[in-house]
Amino acid sequence: MPKTLIEPFRIKSVEPIRMTTRAERERLLVAARLNVFQLRAEDVLIDWLTDSGTGAMSSRQWGAIMEGDESYAGARSFYRLQAVVQDITGMKHFVPTHQGRAAEKVLFTAVCRKGELVPNNSHFDTTRANLEYLGVEALDLVIPEGLQPALLHPFKGNIDLERAEAVLQVEGHRIPFGMITVTNNTGGGQPVSMANIRAYAQLLRQHGKPLIMDVCRFAENAMFIKLREPGYENTPVREIAQEMFSYADGCTMSAKKDGMVNMGGFIALRHDTWVDGVRNGLIMAEGFPTYGGLAGRDLEAMAVGLEEGLQEDYLRYRLRTAEYLGERLEAAGVGFVKPTGGHAVYIDARTVLPDMPVAHYPAWALCNALYLEGGIRGVEIGSVMFGKRLADGSETYHRMELVRLAFPRRMYTQSHFDYAAEVIAELRHKAAGIRGVRIVRQPPFLRHFTCECEWV
C-alpha cells in the first residue's frame, strides 16, 4: 500500500480564492480594527477561522436538498432526519434548531435557573455565554494535562473526575446537570475517552444528575477512540459513537461540524422530563418543532451529512490532515497543542512570541501576523476570547495563548496545508516584527467577535 493518504473525494465544483498583496492586507486589517472577524471573507486566501458550517457538501447532500419537504408541520424531511438522529444517539426526542448555540439557549432556558452551576471539561464560548447570561456558573474541569500544550496524552479532553466528584459533593444542590464536550474544542480539539465518559456519567448518576453532551464533533471523537483506546481498534466508528451517546441523557449538536452541513443543529433527549419546556421555548425562538429554524432541505442535507461524517476513510483522512500540519510545524520549531486535534491545529503563540506580555495579547498578535504574512485567517483562543475587563479597568487573562487553525471539511487540499506551513515557519523568523494590540472598544459578552483594537 502506498503511504500517502489521499483526500477520499474528487472535486466537482470549484470556488476561486483570491491572492492579495501584503500592502493590501495591511490596509484591510487596519480597516477591520485589527480584528480578523471583521475582514471580508473574499479578502482572505485560506480561511481557517472555523470548521463550523464552512465545509463542502457532497453531491449526495445536494441531491437530497431537492427532496426537501417544506411543509410547516410534519414534513417528511423531519421524519427522515429524526430516524437518523434516533439511530445514532439512541435518544427518543429529537428537536431541530438552526445551529448549536440555539440548541444551548433553548435547553438551558428551559432547564437552568439563576445561581446554578454546570461542570464541563471546557465550555465553548457560546455555551459559557448562554449559561452566564442566565446567571449560571460555567465551571471548566478538564484534566491538568489538557492545559499543557506541549504534553502528549491520548485523551487531553478528559474531565478531571476527582474534581468533578468534589464539586458534586459540595455544590450538588446547585447542579442541574453535568456536561461534557466531545471533542474538547476550547482545549485544542482534544478527544474524551470512552472510559472517561462512562465514569463521569456514572458519577453524575450517583448524585442523581443527568449528563448532557455537547456533541458537535462526536464523529471525530469516536474516530480518536478507535485509533487510541485499547479495545476499540476493531469496532466500527458508528458503534463507538452509539456507545458514547448511550451514557448521555441528552445532547446539544451543532450540525455545522460533524453534521457536514452549512447550517443546522439539534437537541436530543432520552427522557420526557424536559421535552415540553424545550419545545415551548423552541416555538418562541426557533419555530415549530418539526423544522426548528431550518428549511426542509436543510433537514435533508443533515440526514445525509450525519451519515457521511461517520465514514471511516473520511475520518482517517480528516485526522491525518491535522497531524500532517503538526509535523510540518514541529519541523519548523513552532509549538502547538499536542497531539493535534480533530478539526484544527492550535499554535501555541507563546512559542513564537515568548517575550510579548500577555497584556498585548500574543495569540491575537500572531493571528493578525498570519493574515498579514500569508492571507491566512485563524482565530485567537486566548485572553481576548476568554479574558475579561473588570469594572475597575483591570483584566483577567486566559491560561493559554493559542491560535486555532480550523479546517473546513472536504475543502482544502494538501498544497494549501503546505503553503500554510511555509507561512508559519517564516513568521517564526520574523517574530521580532510582530506587534501586539490594545483593545479600544469591546462589548460585555463574546468580545472577540466585535472588539476594536490598535497596535501597541
* Contacting ligand F0G within 249-268 (CB under 6 A): 254, 256, 265
* Contacting ligand F0G within 15-74 (CB under 6 A): 50, 52
| 218 is a site residue for ligand F0G (CB under 6 A) | no
Site size toward ligand F0G (CB under 6 A) is: 16
CA distance 162 to 119: 12
Nearer to ligand F0G, 20 or 38 (CB): 38
CA distance 434 to 360: 11
Q: Which three cell numbers stand for residue 134?
A: 442566565
CA distance 223 to 367: 29
Which one of 98-106, 276-284, 312-320, 363-371 is the stretch in contact with ligand F0G (CB under 6 A)? 98-106
Q: For ligand F0G, which residue of 48, 78, 108, 124 counts as binding (CB under 6 A)?
A: 124
Q: Which three cell numbers stand for residue 73?
A: 408541520
Which one of 95-103, 202-210, 411-419, 420-428 is the stretch in contact with ligand F0G (CB under 6 A)? 95-103
Nearer to ligand F0G, 214 or 308 (CB): 214
| 130 is a site residue for ligand F0G (CB under 6 A) | no
Cis peptide, bond prior to residue 339, ω within 30 of zero: yes
Nearer to ligand F0G, 55 or 100 (CB): 100
Q: For ligand F0G, which residue of 32, 131, 180, 216 counts as binding (CB under 6 A)?
A: 216
CA distance 48 to 124: 18
Q: Which three cell numbers stand for residue 114?
A: 439563576
Nearer to ligand F0G, 119 or 436 (CB): 119
Least Å distance, CB 49 to ligand F0G, is 7
User: In terms of Cα–Cα distance, which of 177, 124, 183 is closest to 158?
Assistant: 183
Nearest residue to ligand F0G, scored by beta-carbon proximity: 100
Q: For ligand F0G, which residue of 214, 308, 348, 401 counts as binding (CB under 6 A)?
A: 214
**Cα–Cα distances in angstroms (integers) from residue 441 to residues 33, 423, 437, 438, in the given order:** 10, 30, 12, 9
Reading phi first (left if > 0) and then psi (alpha if -120 to 50, else beta), residue 264 is in left
For residue 70, count other CB atoms closer than 10 A to its CB.
11
CA distance 35 to 367: 9
| 127 is a site residue for ligand F0G (CB under 6 A) | yes
Point out which residues bind ligand F0G (CB under 6 A): 50, 52, 99-101, 124, 126-127, 181, 185, 214, 216, 254, 256, 265, 406
